[in-house]
C-alpha cells in the first residue's frame, strides 16, 4: 500500500512531468515566496521572483532563477500593481503565477487579468473569489448551501438607530463587522446601545478608510469563542475534499499567533460535520485549488461559518505536517488541470503539529512593530519534525513597508505534548538580534498551563497576559537554569583569561540577577562541573566556548539551550520565555558591589517618545493643552499599521517637537510635558 506521503507528494512527482509548468512567477515576497520556490525546485519548475526596491537584496530574489523589479517599496507601488506583474510575466515567459497570501492573492481582478493574458492563476476561479470576498454575500451563500452561520442580520446597516434596533433584536453582546473586512479590521464588540452607536460610526469609518467600503453588519458575539478552520482542496473536475482542521484560537487583536492541527477541542463527530459543511460550501461556489473555510466554535461545540479565505493560508504548514501533503504542489497540479491524487477516505492525519509566528515586534512596548537589520540570525536545526519557513538571513532588513512576520516555526510530534516540547526547544535555539521579536512571548504561551491543557479561546492572550508580556518573570526551574548557566559562562571566560593555568579545584561565585543574589560553588567534574547552591545542585555538562551565541548543556540531566550575549561585564541570557541580565562576580567583588550606589535612570516621563521608527501621521494635541491619562496624543504609522500613542498620565503639553509628516527615529521625542 502506498503511504499518504507518496500519494500526495511523490506518486506523480515530476521532472519532465510534461503536464506541469516550466516556469512559475511568484507574485509575493518574504517567507511565502521562498516557500513556494522550494516546491517549484522540487518539481523541476523554474521560479521567477518579483521585487520592490526595498527587497532588491532579499533571500527570495537570491533563491529565484530569475527576478524582476516591479516598483517602489510601498506595496501599492509594487506588489499590488497588476500591470507590473503582467509585464514581469511577459518578460520572463512565466506560464503561471502563484500569488501566495496577502497582496493580490484574493483579488479576482488579478486572476482575470492573468487569464486574459493567457497566464494561469494558481488559485481558485475568479467567480468563487468574488462570491467569497464579501462577508455579507458569502454568509448568504453559505446559508443557501446549508452551512450554519452566526445568528445575525445579513444586511448592510443604514444608520446608528437601526444598528441599535438590530443589536437588541439579536441580543447583546453583538459583533459589528465590515462586510469588506479582513485582517481583523473594522470589527467591534458591542455590549450596550451606546456602544453600538459608537461602534457603528468608528467601524464604518475604519472600513471606509481601509477597504473603500463602509458597509457594516451585525451578528451575535460568540462568548469564549474558538477559531477552528477547515482546509479544503478541490480540482477542476468537480472533486472537493477536506484535509481536516486547524485551531487558531491563540490570537492577538484578531491576528493569529499560534496554530495547530488537529484541534484539541473537536470530537470526531463535530470534525466530520464541519468538514462536510466546508466541502458543501466549496462545491456550491464551484471552488477549486486550496482554500480555507473559517468557523467560530462556542463552548458547546456549536460551530458557525465566519468566512472563506480563497488562497493559501499562512498556517498551511501544520496541515502539511499532519497529512504529509504539499499544498503548494497540489495547487500547482490542480491549476495545470490534474485530478486530486486522493479521495476523502484516504486523508489521514498523523500526530500533531503546532506553528508559531515569529513577528518583528516588541512585547515590552505593547507589541509595537520593530524594524531594523538582523545583526545576528541563527535558526535552530530543522528536520526530525521541525520545519522553519523564513525569508530572511543574517544581515536582512526588516522594513517598515510590509507585514512584520519574520518566520514561522513548525513542530510535529506524535502527540500535542511532544509537538509543544519540540517547538519550545526550537524557540530556545532561535537566535535573532538587531530587532525586537516575540520569541520569548511565544515560549511563554507554549509554557502556559492553560495552553498545555488545551483550554483555548480567542481571548486567551487578553485574559492571561492582561498587562502585556514581561520576560523577567522566572519560575523556579528557569531561575535555576539561568543562574547555573551564568556561572558556567563566567567560569569558562575566566578559564580562557588564565591561559591554561589551573584554577583552584573549587570556586565560589555570586550570580546577580537584578537585585537577586545567588551564591554557588562549581567543582570541575568530567567535561563540566558539579554545582552546589541553595537552588539545588548536580552535574552540568557543556562544550560552550566564549563567543558562542548558544549555551547548550546537560543541566542536572536535562538538555537546555540558553541564548547568550555579552554586554559589558554582564550577560544577557534568555531561555524558556524569560530574558534576564546577569552579573557574575567572585565573592569579594560581590561584597564591594553591594555598596555601589544604584544609578537612577534618566527621567524620560516628561516626553512622549516614538516607540519605533515610522511616520508621524497626526498630533491630536496643542501646546498648552491639558490632557488626561489615556487620551490620544499622536498617531505613528509603521508596517502598514497605525499606532495610537496615548498619555500615560494626566499632564500639560509644553512643547511639540515634531509635526505630522515627519519621519521619526525610535525614542525620538514627539512632544514634551510641563
Q: Which residues are catalytic?
A: 307
Nearest CB to ligand ADP, comparing residues 244 and 341: 244
Q: Please, are residues 389 and 407 in contact by the beta-carbon 8 Å criterion?
A: yes
Least CB distance from residue 304 to ligand ADP, whole Å? Answer: 7
Q: How many CA atoms lie within 13 A of 225 on its CB side?
A: 24
Cα separation, 444 vs 440, in Å, equals 6
Stretch that binds ligand ADP, among 180-188, 378-386, 503-511, 549-557 (CB under 6 A): 180-188
Q: Which residues contact 362 (CB under 8 A, 6 or more apart)?
A: 368, 369, 370, 436, 611, 612
Q: How many CA atoms lie within 13 A of 578 on its CB side?
A: 22
Least CB distance from residue 435 to ligand ADP, whole Å? Answer: 18
Report the partner that residue 225 touches, choosing among ligand ADP, Mg ion, none (CB closer than 5 to 8 A by kind): ligand ADP
Cα Rg of the chain (Å, integer):
27
Is 286 a binder of ligand ADP (CB under 6 A)? no
Q: How many CA atoms lie within 13 A of 352 on its CB side?
A: 18
Stretch that binds ligand ADP, among 175-183, 381-389, 481-489, 554-562 (CB under 6 A): 175-183
Cα separation, 180 vs 195, in Å, equals 22
Nearest CB to Mg ion, comparing residues 293 and 627: 293
Q: Which of 21, 51, 200, 221 binds ligand ADP (CB under 6 A)?
A: 221
Nearest CB to Mg ion, comparing residues 219 and 294: 294
In 3-state terms, what secondary structure has residue 507?
A: strand
Report the partner that residue 613 touches, choosing among Mg ion, ligand ADP, none (CB closer than 5 to 8 A by kind): none
Report the partner that residue 389 touches, choosing among ligand ADP, Mg ion, none (CB closer than 5 to 8 A by kind): none
Query: In the bound complex, which residue of the shown chain has the CB atom lying closest to ligand ADP?
Result: 183
In degrees and rounded to multiples of 5, residue 269 shows phi and psi of: -70, -45
Q: Which residues contact 482 (CB under 8 A, 6 or more apart)?
A: 474, 513, 562, 573, 575, 578, 580, 582
In 3-state terms, what secondary structure has residue 313?
A: coil
Least CB distance from residue 102 to Mg ion, whole Å? Answer: 13
Q: Please, are residues 229 and 290 in contact by the beta-carbon 8 Å criterion?
A: no
Cα-Cα-Cα-Cα torsion 249, 251, 256, 261, nearest 10 degrees, comes to: -20
DSSP calls for 221-255: PPSS-EEEEEEEEE-TTS-EEEEEEEEEEEEETTE
Site for ligand ADP in 137-166 (CB under 6 A): 150
Is 183 a binder of ligand ADP (CB under 6 A)? yes
Q: Which of 154, 296, 390, 579 binds ligand ADP (CB under 6 A)?
A: 296
Is 31 a binder of ligand ADP (CB under 6 A)? no
Is 270 a binder of ligand ADP (CB under 6 A)? no
Cα separation, 109 vs 377, in Å, equals 39
Stretch that binds ligand ADP, among 249-257, 414-422, 542-550, 589-597 (CB under 6 A): 249-257
Nearest CB to ligand ADP, comparing residues 175 and 512: 175
Site for Mg ion in 247-306 (CB under 5 A): 294
The residues with which 287 forms a beta bridge, in sequence order, are none
Report the length, in residues, of the chain.
Answer: 674
Report the partner that residue 437 touches, choosing among ligand ADP, Mg ion, none (CB closer than 5 to 8 A by kind): none
Is 389 a binder of ligand ADP (CB under 6 A)? no
Q: Please, are residues 324 and 3 in contact by the beta-carbon 8 Å criterion?
A: yes
Is 319 a binder of ligand ADP (CB under 6 A)? no
Nearest CB to ligand ADP, comparing residues 182 and 537: 182
Least CB distance from residue 79 to Mg ion, whole Å? Answer: 21
Footprint of Mg ion on this chain (CB under 5 A)?
A: 294
Footprint of ligand ADP on this chain (CB under 6 A)?
A: 101-102, 150, 175, 181-185, 187, 219-222, 225, 227, 251, 254-256, 294, 296, 306-307, 309, 313-315, 403, 458
Amino acid at each position: 500500500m502506498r503511504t499518504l506521503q507518496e500519494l500526495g507528494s511523490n506518486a506523480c512527482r515530476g521532472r519532465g512531468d510534461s503536464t506541469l509548468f516550466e516556469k512559475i512567477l511568484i507574485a509575493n515576497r518574504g517567507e511565502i515566496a521562498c516557500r513556494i520556490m522550494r516546491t517549484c525546485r522540487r518539481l523541476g519548475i523554474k521560479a521567477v521572483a518579483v521585487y520592490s526596491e526595498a527587497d532588491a537584496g532579499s533571500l527570495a530574489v537570491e533563491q529565484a532563477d530569475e527576478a524582476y523589479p516591479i516598483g517602489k517599496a510601498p506595496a501599492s507601488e509594487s506588489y499590488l500593481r497588476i500591470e507590473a506583474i503582467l509585464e514581469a510575466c511577459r518578460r520572463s515567459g512565466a506560464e503561471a503565477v502563484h500569488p501566495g497570501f496577502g497582496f493580490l492573492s484574493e483579488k479576482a481582478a488579478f486572476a482575470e487579468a492573468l487569464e486574459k493574458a493567457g497566464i494561469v492563476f494558481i488559485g481558485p476561479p475568479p467567480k468563487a473569489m468574488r462570491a467569497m470576498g464579501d462577508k455579507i454575500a458569502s454568509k448568504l451563500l453559505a446559508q443557501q448551501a446549508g452551512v450554519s452561520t452566526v445568528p445575525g442580520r445579513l444586511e448592510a446597516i443604514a444608520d446608528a438607530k437601526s444598528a441599535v434596533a438590530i443589536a437588541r433584536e439579536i441580543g447583546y453582546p453583538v459583533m459589528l463587522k465590515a462586510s469588506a473586512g479582513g485582517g481583523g479590521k473594522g470589527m467591534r464588540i458591542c455590549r450596550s446601545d451606546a456602544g453600538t452607536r459608537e461602534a457603528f460610526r468608528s467601524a464604518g469609518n475604519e472600513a471606509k478608510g481601509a477597504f473603500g467600503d463602509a458597509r457594516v453588519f451585525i451578528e451575535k458575539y460568540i462568548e469564549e469563542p474558538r477559531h477552528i478552520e477547515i482546509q479544503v482542496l478541490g480540482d477542476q473536475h468537480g472533486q472537493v475534499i477536506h484535509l481536516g482542521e486547524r485551531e487558531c484560537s491563540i490570537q492577538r487583536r484578531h491576528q493569529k499567533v499560534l496554530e495547530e492541527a488537529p484541534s484539541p477541542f473537536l470530537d470526531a463527530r463535530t470534525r466530520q460535520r464541519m468538514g462536510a459543511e466546508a466541502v458543501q460550501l466549496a462545491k456550491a461556489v464551484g471552488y477549486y485549488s486550496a482554500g480555507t473555510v473559517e468557523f467560530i466554535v462556542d463552548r458547546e461545540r456549536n460551530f458557525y461559518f465566519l468566512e472563506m479565505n480563497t488562497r493559501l493560508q499562512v498556517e498551511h504548514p501544520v496541515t502539511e505536517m499532519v497529512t504529509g501533503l504539499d499544498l503548494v504542489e497540489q495547487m500547482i497540479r490542480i491549476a495545470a488541470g490534474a485530478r486530486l491524487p486522493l479521495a476523502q477516505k484516504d486523508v489521514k492525519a498523523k500526530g500533531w503539529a503546532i506553528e508559531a509566528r515569529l513577528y518583528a515586534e516588541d512585547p515590552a512596548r505593547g507589541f509595537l512593530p520593530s524594524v531594523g537589520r538582523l545583526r545576528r540570525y541563527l535558526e535552530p536545526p530543522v528536520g526530525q519534525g521541525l520545519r522553519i519557513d523564513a525569508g530572511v538571513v543574517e544581515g536582512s532588513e526588516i522594513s517598515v513597508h510590509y507585514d512584520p512576520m519574520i518566520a514561522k516555526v513548525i513542530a510535529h510530534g506524535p502527540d500535542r505534548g511532544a509537538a509543544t516540547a519540540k517547538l519550545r526547544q526550537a524557540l530556545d535555539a532561535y537566535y535573532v538580534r538587531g530587532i525586537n521579536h516575540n520569541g520569548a512571548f511565544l515560549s511563554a504561551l507554549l509554557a502556559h498551563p492553560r495552553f498545555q491543557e488545551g483550554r483555548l479561546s480567542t481571548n486567551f492572550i487578553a485574559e492571561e497576559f492582561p498587562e502585556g508580556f514581561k520576560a523577567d518573570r522566572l519560575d523556579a526551574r528557569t531561575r535555576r537554569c539561568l543562574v547555573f548557566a551564568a556561572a558556567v559562562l563566567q567560569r569558562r571566560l575566566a578559564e580562557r583569561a588564565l591561559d591554561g593555568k589551573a584554577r583552584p579545584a573549587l570556586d565560589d561565585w555570586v550570580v546577580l540577577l537584578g537585585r537577586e543574589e545567588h551564591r554557588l560553588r562549581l567543582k570541575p567534574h568530567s567535561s563540566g562541573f558539579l554545582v552546589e547552591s541553595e537552588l539545588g545542585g548536580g552535574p552540568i555538562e557543556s562544550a560552550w566556548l566564549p563567543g558562542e551565541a548558544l549555551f547548550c548543556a546537560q543541566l542536572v540531566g536535562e538538555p537546555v539551550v540558553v541564548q547568550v550575549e555579552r554586554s559589558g561585564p554582564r550577560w544577557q541570557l534568555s531561555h524558556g520565555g524569560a530574558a534576564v541580565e546577569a552579573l557574575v562576580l567572585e565573592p569579594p567583588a560581590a561584597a564591594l558591589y553591594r555598596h555601589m550606589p544604584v544609578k537612577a535612570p534618566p527621567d524620560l516621563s516628561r516626553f512622549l517618545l516614538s516607540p519605533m521608527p515610522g511616520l508621524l501621521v497626526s498630533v491630536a494635541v496643542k501646546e498648552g493643552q491639558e490632557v488626561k491619562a489615556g487620551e490620544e496624543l499622536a498617531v505613528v504609522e509603521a508596517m502598514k499599521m497605525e499606532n495610537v500613542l496615548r498619555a500615560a498620565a494626566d499632564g500639560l503639553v509644553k512643547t511639540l517637537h515634531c509635526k505630522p509628516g515627519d519621519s521619526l527615529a525610535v525614542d525620538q521625542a514627539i512632544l514634551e510635558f510641563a
